[in-house]
Amino acid sequence: LTEVYSSSPALGRYFRSAQVISFSNESSTVIYQLVFSVPPSTEGFMENSMNPDFIRNILRQNIYDED
């Protein structure tokens, strides 16, 4: 995750860290926390760049690109 987000053209400059919060072998589930340092309130920044779907899609695109 660190490599994916730190190299992202859209979020790389804001990305600070990724940490695993919980991991389950039984269900192959990982809960993680991403930390970003965002600029002072910028028009639409939180609604667009920090949108959970946008952040998730960056990871999804990276996975697709590897295949």
Per DSSP, the residues of 24-66 read ETTTTEEEEEEEE-PPS--TTHHHHTT-HHHHHHHHHHHHHHH
Q: pTM for this one?
A: 0.74
Domain that holds residue 25: 1-66
pLDDT in tens, 33-54: 999 988 777 777 777 778 889 9
For 11, 13, 19, the CA distances from 26, given in Å and listed in that order, are 32, 35, 20
Q: Are strands 15-24 and 29-36 parallel, antiparallel or unpaired?
A: antiparallel
Domain count, the chain: 1
- 28 falls in which pLDDT band (50, 70, 90)? confident
